């Protein structure tokens, strides 16, 4: 039995939920696809000018590089962080996530310098209010057929994972590895802070069933996506983004996608990225 007061309270709550205004109070992060681009792909790596270019393209955000060896990963400096904060305020373009691309040349698996970079990136993420840093494992950092290198990466990630967990941020592993090989690393690290940064083009080029992998990894293990084609506009290459959307729907993913590459031979960046954004928005709308 319920009282008349309880009945009226429940009825009012039900009417509020049924109201056409109710969606305005829903958390937008849970119902939106956000589309950004890597700062190196829009030709503004390591500079706040990337936010201005992103605004011209129409993007929601930018994946910002922590820096390079030449500038000693300058985003670790408070003054540089402030420059980016100012650029965000001026343009309305968000810092979507961070990336340490220099690890392709100075491998996390064998060089001591990236240990500090990865640890410090957690502090930068927290300072900027950003959740994900991409850790790159290509080039000299490739983990394929390298058990000793993979073992060392697991060791180093285990060391930094508690700090990342405490900060509430994610270390996103991007590599040539399969979903199963990524999962092996994640399980050995044993922390929710270690996840997969999923690049649909890289995995497709390796011959992996990307739609199956996305469904298998799920949102528990995928932190963010790269929307990419090598030498072609999005929608004009090998990746079927309609099927990618279907796989994302199945796992309930809503969040950031960063455009990388996707400029045809002889093409210019700005019109190419405007075309890429228009294509993606037809499949991944904001609402």
Strands (E), 82-181: 94-100, 132-137, 170-175
pLDDT band for position 14 (50/70/90)? very low
Residue 18 confidence (pLDDT)? 40
74: Cβ contacts below 8 Å, ≥ 6 apart: 46, 67, 80
Residue 9 confidence (pLDDT)? 42
Distance CA 164, CA 119 (A): 8
Domain borders along the chain are: 29-282
Q: How many residues does the chain have?
A: 287
Q: Provide the phi-psi class of 139: left if phi over 0, else alpha when psi is between -120 and 50, else beta.
A: left
- Contact in structure between 117 and 66 (CB atoms under 8 Å): yes
pLDDT band for position 286 (50/70/90)? confident
- Contact in structure between 199 and 228 (CB atoms under 8 Å): yes
Distance CA 236, CA 39 (A): 22
The pTM for the full model equals 0.88
Distance CA 202, CA 210 (A): 10
User: Does pLDDT of 21 surpass 90?
Assistant: no
249-285 burial, b for 16+ CB within 10 Å, e for fewer? eeeebebbbbbbbbbeeeeebeebbebbbebbeebbe
User: Does pLDDT of 25 surpass 60?
Assistant: no
Tokens of 207: 């011959």
- Contact in structure between 227 and 241 (CB atoms under 8 Å): yes
Residue 31 confidence (pLDDT)? 57
pLDDT digits (tens, 9 = 90+) for 113-125: 999 999 999 999 9
Residue 32 confidence (pLDDT)? 86
pLDDT-wise least confident of 11-20, 127-136, 208-217, 260-269: 11-20
Residue 16 confidence (pLDDT)? 40
User: Does pLDDT of 11 surpass 50?
Assistant: no
CA atoms within 13 A on the CB side of 62: 30
Residue 5 confidence (pLDDT)? 46
Residue 65 confidence (pLDDT)? 98
Alpha-carbon distances, residue 191 vs 140, 221, 268 (angstroms): 26, 11, 41
User: Does pLDDT of 23 surpass 50?
Assistant: no
Tokens of 266: 């002889």
CB-count burial class (<10 Å; 0-12, 13-18, 19+) for 20: exposed
The CATH class, in words, for 29-282 is alpha beta
pLDDT digits (tens, 9 = 90+) for 227-260: 999 999 999 999 999 999 999 999 999 999 999 9
User: Does pLDDT of 24 surpass 50?
Assistant: no
276: Cβ contacts below 8 Å, ≥ 6 apart: 227, 233, 234, 259, 262
pLDDT digits (tens, 9 = 90+) for 143-196: 999 999 999 999 999 999 999 999 999 999 999 999 999 999 999 999 999 999
User: Does pLDDT of 15 surpass 50?
Assistant: no
pLDDT digits (tens, 9 = 90+) for 27-85: 344 558 999 999 999 999 999 999 999 999 999 999 999 999 999 999 999 999 999 99
State whether the Cα torsion 42-45-50-54 is positive or negative. Answer: positive
């Amino acid at each position: 039995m319920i009282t008349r007061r309880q009945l009226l309270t429940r009825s009012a709550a039900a009417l509020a939920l049924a109201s056409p205004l109710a969606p305005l109070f829903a958390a937008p992060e849970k119902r939106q696809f956000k589309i950004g681009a890597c700062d190196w792909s829009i030709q503004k790596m390591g500079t706040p000018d990337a936010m201005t270019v992103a605004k011209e393209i129409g993007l929601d955000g930018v994946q910002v590089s922590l820096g390079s060896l030449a500038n000693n990963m300058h985003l670790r400096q408070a003054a540089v962080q402030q420059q980016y904060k100012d650029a965000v305020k001026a343009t309305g373009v968000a810092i979507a996530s961070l990336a340490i691309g220099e690890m392709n040349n100075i491998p996390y698996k064998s060089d001591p310098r990236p240990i500090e970079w990865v640890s410090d990136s957690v502090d930068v993420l927290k300072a900027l209010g950003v959740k994900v840093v991409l850790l790159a494992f290509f080039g000299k950092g490739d983990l394929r057929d390298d058990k000793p290198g993979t073992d060392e990466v697991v060791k180093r990630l285990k060391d930094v994972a508690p700090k990342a967990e405490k900060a509430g941020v994610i270390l996103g592993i991007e590599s040539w590895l399969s979903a199963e090989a990524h999962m092996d690393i994640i399980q050995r690290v044993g922390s929710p802070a270690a996840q997969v940064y999923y690049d649909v083009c890289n995995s497709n080029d390796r011959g992996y069933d990307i739609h199956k992998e996305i469904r298998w990894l799920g949102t528990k293990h995928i932190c963010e996506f790269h929307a990419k084609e090598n030498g072609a506009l999005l929608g004009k290459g090998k990746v079927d983004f309609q099927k990618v959307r279907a796989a994302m729907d199945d796992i309930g993913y809503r969040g950031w996608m960063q455009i990388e590459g996707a400029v045809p031979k002889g093409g210019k960046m700005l019109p190419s990225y405007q075309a890429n954004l228009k294509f993606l928005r037809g499949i991944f709308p904001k609402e």
